Amino acid sequence: MIPKETIDTIFETARIEEVVRDFVNLKKRGANMIGNCPFHDEKTPSFTVSPTKNIYKCFGCGKGGHAVNFVMEIDQLSYPEALKYIAKKYNIEVPKEEQTPEQIEKYNLRESLFIVNSFANDYFRNSLHKTVEGKAVGLSYFKERGLSEEIINKFQLGYNPDSWDAFTKSALESSHKQEFLEKTGLSIFKEDKTFDRFKGRVIFPIHSISGRILGFGGRALKKDEKAKYLNSPESEIYHKAKVLYGMYFSKSAIVKNDSCLIVEGYTDVISMYQSGVENVVASSGTAIGSEQIKMISRYTKNIILLFDSDYAGINAATKAIDLIHTENMNVKVALLPEGEDPDSYTKKYGPEGLTQYINEQVQDFVEFKINLLDEKSKNDPIKKVNLISEIMQSIAKIPDGITREVYIDKCSKLLEIGKQKLENKVNELILNGKAAKKVIKEVVKKAENSTALTKRLAKSEFQEKDVIRFMLQYGDYKINPYDEKEKNTEDDKIYVTQYILIEFKDENLFSNPNYALIYKTYEEAINRGTLLTEEYFTQHKDPVISQVAVDIISNQYSVSKKWQKHGIYTETEEMQLKKAVDTAIYSLKIAKISELIETKNIELSKGDNDNINLLVEINNMLKIKREISEKLGRIVLR
């Protein structure tokens, strides 16, 4: 358990904009900051961060909360792990607790896998720096590649001894279970034999976007090894298609440069980073996929593919281009000279030479594919037609019409083909794609409609939400509970929270369980003599409560407190708080009575009960509704 004093310090210190900026490219808009939501795919930013309230809210997918549950959500961390992540960011010391074997067993599967990976990372680093074999073999290899001690430590590189089960034995002796060693792929158990997956290899830890160890890459140092590189297998915490090697280290530079370089290998990333080109990442042993592109889109819209000029590099670049366009990103390509990779080129010509080469050789996708066309088709008309069709397919995947138009015009000039013909082909490809999407949308819509029939929110939910909003936003404001025309003193005033609790005393008016829970929490606190603030709920350790509180107080549009135009003056809630609170209270009461009347009318129509008694009940409720409506009318009109 993390002590409450430490938790309080973490919440008091953490600034939501500083935490979110590690994962999202934020831009200033008025008092708030906006960016593309990291939790769902969107073209127009709807993700808002409020530095003044210290919360975030996405008006697209609905997610919202404080800094801690943002980290929990984005990196699938537990509450304690998210606290530790933020504490590390702000150099807040969290008291360490030794984990007993019994405590380790209580961890859920994901946490157990992270624990095993963390142990393995420490073991590999220790083997590299503190053993004779590690220094002679592993450290020598990294030094020969030109890596400095500083960069080796930064990327947490390591070494697994050239022994069948040295690591596995150490892990088991440290109380780590065989089950988790197998699930992470660190160890292989066959009958009565045990093997280290990364035996005799230098180790590249693969980090999550927040710095946790997801898996490892291991490079063989012996020439007779079948696989030069070996990666951790897929697991509960490691999904290759969703990970980019180096992103944890490079995200700030990507935002700063407003571009992301994608290379092919681990050492390419590390050597370029060491040389000063820090906005660089690599895929984890797979072709670039849509999930990885979406991750990059949180930080920039501009991607440069820096691949080898061999068949594999060209093929990888060609496949990535269309995917990047589909995600509404800008893409350029730079192929390195034959026989070179970013690592070797940087060593020969330095970071300035590599940067100069990229700037001189970088091409947009049209130039890249036309150059391929010239090389591959030569005098073969069929190959030429196929490559032209491929270029048109790439253009058709660009969502923005103006951008498509620019590229069509460029193709027309470079290929010496009529613009209208190319435009017709692109439109044909777009329409074919839309037809397929239309069918899918119709199927989804039918499914949504059938689901909607099973859902029915209480009619009063809006009014319930409004009352809770007043408690959250104005609960610690004081108002006069009596008629404003009467003479009263400052001592007569009470808090808005107290006023609402008095009005609803002994009445259970909240059908939404989350609103009911917040109301009950306020009630219990007042009974203890405590006045809760908005921050108590927006920074609540229960992510459901904090999410609901943020949803209620978040406004998609900023409203000016004073608006004076053509003699019209608009007053804010704060200026007429008593009136606004009364309106919310009476509106909820009317909505609840209306629901009861509707329920009684349904009973009456069934004819299963005493009709006379039902009519009397309905009549009494209608009378109460009229009385409350009259009060509400007087409030609104005065």
pLDDT at residue 223 in the model: 84
Where does a domain end: 238, 270, 301?
238
pLDDT at residue 569 in the model: 42
Low-confidence residues of the chain, pLDDT below 70? 1, 76, 96-107, 285, 373-379, 434-459, 483-490, 506, 508, 555-575, 606-610, 633-638
Of the candidates 372, 376, 375, 355, the one whose C-alpha atom is nearest the C-alpha of residue 304 is: 355
Rounded CA gap, 307 and 289, in Å?
16
Predicted structure pTM score: 0.65
Where does a domain end: 210, 238, 266?
238
Q: Is residue 397 part of a domain?
A: yes
Rounded CA gap, 536 and 526, in Å?
14
Q: Is residue 445 part of a domain?
A: no
Rounded CA gap, 480 and 496, in Å?
9
Contact (CB, 8 A) for 247 and 255 = no
Q: What does the DSSP 8-state code read for residue 14?
A: -
**The CATH number of the domain where 134 resides is what?**
3.90.980.10
pLDDT at residue 592 in the model: 84
Residue 115's Cβ-side half-sphere holds a number of Cα atoms within 13 Å equal to 22
Beta-carbon neighbour count of residue 417 at 10 Å? 13
pLDDT in tens, 406-460: 999 999 998 888 999 999 988 888 877 764 555 555 555 555 554 443 344 456 7
Q: Is residue 404 part of a domain?
A: yes
Q: Clarify whether residues 295 and 380 are in a common domain.
A: yes
Query: What backbone phi and psi angles, to 5 degrees, belong to 195?
Result: -135, 145
**Structurally, how many domains does the chain consist of?**
4
pLDDT at residue 570 in the model: 43
Q: Clarify whether residues 290 and 356 are in a common domain.
A: yes
Q: Name 586's Cβ contacts closer than 8 Å, sequence gap at least 6.
A: 628, 629, 631, 632, 635
pLDDT at residue 298 in the model: 80
Q: Clarify whether residues 56 and 129 are in a common domain.
A: no
Q: Clarify whether residues 279 and 312 are in a common domain.
A: yes
Q: Clarify whether residues 233 and 254 are in a common domain.
A: no
Q: Clarify whether residues 334 and 362 are in a common domain.
A: yes
Q: Clarify whether residues 329 and 376 are in a common domain.
A: yes
- Angstrom CA distances, 606 to 597, 601, 618, stand at 14, 9, 15
pLDDT at residue 97 in the model: 63
The domain in which residue 532 lies consists of: 461-637
pLDDT at residue 272 in the model: 92
Q: Clarify whether residues 497 and 564 are in a common domain.
A: yes
Q: Is residue 382 part of a domain?
A: yes
Q: Clarify whether residues 465 and 600 are in a common domain.
A: yes
Q: Is residue 244 part of a domain?
A: no
Q: Clarify whether residues 231 and 259 are in a common domain.
A: no
Please state the separation of Cα 42 from the chain's center in Å: 12
**The CATH number of the domain where 82 resides is what?**
3.90.580.10
Q: Is residue 277 part of a domain?
A: yes
Q: Clarify whether residues 465 and 399 are in a common domain.
A: no
pLDDT at residue 378 in the model: 62
pLDDT at residue 599 in the model: 78
Strand partners, 440: none
Q: Clarify whether residues 543 and 598 are in a common domain.
A: yes
Where does a domain end: 191, 207, 238?
238
Strand partners, 130: none
